[in-house]
Copies of this chain bind each other. A is one copy, B any other.
């Protein structure tokens, strides 16, 4: 299908490099990862790396784009099912299930070791989802609220993943929505 991936060798090489990068990102920031160590871990020749990517950040952005695309499809499917405008329990659960199936990957992409492009994508995605939520208010305050909520969400997910994603996606989704909608209040009286 994808012309750049017809050759099995290419696919294999890219997979090895991606896996190696995700693995390194568990402990190091993207800008401190050298091409050399990445290639050694992936057991790929350094020259080969350069035939596919400009540098590790380039590889990262391609991984991000791919995962984002998967998430967008996930969300779209969910929207079709429910026609949901505000973020629903089901929507969030579905996303978290996908994350749980790819723990290491999501841990890496959401962590401080990445360039936050992924988090910015999520912010964008959330704007698309709730864009029709147009109660007319000061847009600046609205922007602050969105920033507050999404950052809170993402950090909560991070912690969940870091601790091994033991709780069910459902319960995390429910908790997150309560925090978003009611803050501390939603925590106390429930």
Mark contacts of A146-158 with chain B using CB atoms, 8 A cut-off: 1 yes-contact digit, 0 otherwise: 0111111111101
Overall SS of chain A's interface: helix
Complex interface: stretch among A75-83, A88-96, A137-145:
A137-145
What size tier do the contact residues of chain A reach? 35 or more
Task: Pick the most buried of A176, A180, A183: most chain B CB atoms within 10 A of its CB.
Answer: A183
Q: Which of B112, B150, B154, B180 contacts A183 (CB 8 A)?
A: B180
B135 near A175 with CB under 8 A, answer no
Chain B residues with Cβ below 8 Å from A158 are: 147
Interface pairs A-B: 4 shortest CB-CB: A151-B155, A183-B183, A152-B152, A148-B152
Q: Hey, which bits of chain A sit against chain B, CB under 8 A?
A: 29, 31-32, 112, 115-116, 135, 137, 141-145, 147-156, 158-160, 175-176, 179-188
